[in-house]
Amino acid sequence: MALMDKVKAQAAQLAQKAQEAGKAGQAKIEEVQAKRKADGALRELGLAYFNQHNDGANDEVTSRMSSLIEELKAYEAEHGPLAGTSDEDDAEGF
């Protein structure tokens, strides 16, 4: 019986570790998805600013820029400050 108890204890420990690893993996996936969304918003904001600078002020563009800025502020509130270029960006060719 002692052997079965040890096996059950080890199985329970392995199950718990697997569950923790799954949660950590899911958190990392969500973090990457949020970063990609923020990167897209930053790119769109830059493009809107560029178009506004070249074509003049437009209510639609100004409104979209305000919306993107609010989206980026929400990202910062949840994930911390937006980073500039990083080693990861350099590795991706940015």
What is the pTM (predicted TM-score) of this model?
Answer: 0.65
pLDDT in tens, 13-40: 999 999 999 999 999 999 999 999 999 9
pLDDT in tens, 59-85: 888 899 999 999 999 999 999 998 764
Residue for token pair 């108890």:
5
Residue for token pair 């904001």:
45
